[in-house]
Amino acid sequence: MSTHWLLYPLDCPPCYSLLEEAIDRYKDKLTELAQLMEELKNHPETVEDFDFQRKLREADRKIGNLLDEAKRAA
């Protein structure tokens, strides 16, 4: 098995680094949003609207899915 590619890695086009930067920004934003959601879940006394809590749980699930997807894409 040749390890030639390990010694001479392929050069990626400049757009790839732009894509990596965008993915990193999205992951940072998703992490920040997930932390905010966790804080809201840990302090339920601040919110007594049951519909809001239901929507919060749904948003939390979707954020988790997006974060997992972003991590797999990187």
| pLDDT tens, residue by residue, 36-74 | 888 877 876 665 677 777 888 888 888 888 888 877 876
Q: What is the pLDDT of residues 2-19, one digit of tens each?
A: 555 556 566 777 788 888
DSSP string, 14-72: HHHHHHHHHHHHHHHHHHHHHHHHHHHHH-GGG---HHHHHHHHHHHHHHHHHHHHHHH
Whole-angstrom distance between the N-terminal and C-terminal Cα of the chain?
26
The pTM for the full model equals: 0.47
